[in-house]
Amino acid sequence: FGFAPSETNFIVPGKRPMSSMSPIIIYNQDTRENLKQILELKYEQKFKNTTGFEGRGPSVWDEFVRKPGKIVDNSTGDVAADSYHKYKEDIALLKKLGVTLYHWDLPLALQDKGGWLNRDTIEHFRKYAKFCFTEFGKKVKIWITINEPMVVATMGHCGKSGEHAPGGLKEHCHWSQYLAGHNLLLAHGHAYRTYHGMNWKPSERGYVGIANSIQWVIPETEADEEITKLARDRTFGWFSHPILKNDYPPLLKERIKLLSKLEGRAESRFPEFTEFEKLMLSGSADFLGINYYVTLITKRLENDQDRKSQSEYRPANLEGTLDDIPAMGYQNRSWMPVGDSTSWIRSYPDGLEGLLDYVRTEYSNPDVIITENGCMDTPNENLNDITRIRYLKGHIAAVSKAMSKGSKIRGYNLWSLIDNFEWADGYTKLFGIHKVDFNDPNRARTSKLSAKIYSEIIQSNQVVIDEDCTWP
């Protein structure tokens, strides 16, 4: 991967060693100096609707949030946390940063031509990526091409109970999510090859990866192990297998082909890569980014009634995770609850460790960055966010355990630095370790207890396993 090897870690009783850490994202010391000057170029909708500022046109989310009923609290994100104007203050909080090229902000002008369902969008994205590489590449050393392509494909181009922009395609789920996902993967591959085809000096060359949202799945019983393999091909392999190996996972391809045949189709609704595209995608990541929040227990289903009878265990906005897989996924009620009654997160750190073990053993141990990990506020905790502290400590310890077994974890990204506009949840789910007062025109920031605890983890380079991170 190119990072200098970390210093020797020593086990301290009651503590777990961690690699060198810095606020929000962890990298080795050689990388830190290169990151000090980087501005975080993330999706403006998360922080400030800047349509009209310095020539920015509307994105698919600028239009989507104005459709009645699409956002839980009917908010728009027009101001959000206002990082457009308060970026210096946020950089002072953050200190060390990376860059994401695409965080769901497709220009509305491209969506009007079909968006990610139109193959032409691939070339538009490649040109956009090349522009960013050219303009910022001498300072930016770590790039993420696309954030959570599976979420874009499923919730944006299928969206049953949980819908994202552009939306309106749930009647076409059987093909729209797969075509969008196919084009997203090809856009990533072309961007990666473009970057590494540019004439960089040795001191300028950086690293390019992708951030995949992974719902880890584990079998309910031994009888569910085979269906869990297929479920993993859906939740992990769909967007990782073509990059880490080549092509889509064979079991998933066979499943969609069978369903397509039973539906009377002449060909599979799962698109095929050409041989050139397989070669282009294979190895097209200097690191694999993993966004991890939850694990699902997988149970084979015999019919749709089984799925309906178990729906109370499945958070609404995780519906669609196992589309076309004869299985249901649910979270164990004994796992630590996070957030309110509408939350989709229950804390299960062993799931993250299991996922990292799987990547190490099944995919030749690639370099990995945890690009997102965190949880929303729990009611009545306010700044004393003890549930978040438990969640973070448990998951950071899980990363450390995976590293001790040989997983090459090169960084850890906490989600998130500050409260922000949380997509379809509006301002009803807040993930920040710094509170933002959205009723204050100045959007004042206040540190939560988790910010203090996280800083202590960073400074001590270890996480304490104590009563603060146990449940119940």
Residues carrying an active site annotation: 148, 372
Distance CA 165, CA 177 (A): 13
Q: 189, 215, 424: which is closest to 323 by C-alpha?
A: 215
Element (H, E) at 30: helix 29-35
Distance CA 232, CA 234 (A): 5
Residue spans of alpha helices (H) in 334-385:
349-362
Distance CA 136, CA 442 (A): 29
Distance CA 88, CA 93 (A): 9
Residue 80: Cβ within 10 Å count: 25
Residue 282: Cβ within 10 Å count: 17
Phi–psi pair at 296, nearest 5 degrees: -115, 140
CB 369, CB 412: distance < 8 Å = yes
CB 436, CB 448: distance < 8 Å = no
Q: 472, 465, 381: which is closest to 14 by C-alpha?
A: 465
Q: 225, 194, 212, 207: which is closest to 98 by C-alpha?
A: 207
What residues have CB less than 8 Å from 460, skipping those under 6 apart?
none
What residues have CB less than 8 Å from 262, skipping those under 6 apart?
none
Beta bridge partners of 370: 290, 412
Distance CA 153, CA 138 (A): 32
CB 335, CB 346: distance < 8 Å = yes
Q: 422, 419, 341: which is closest to 71 by C-alpha?
A: 422
Q: 83, 91, 94: which is closest to 443 by C-alpha?
A: 83
Helices 449-460 and 386-404: angle between axes, nearest 10 degrees: 20
Q: 348, 359, 342, 340: which is closest to 297 by C-alpha?
A: 348
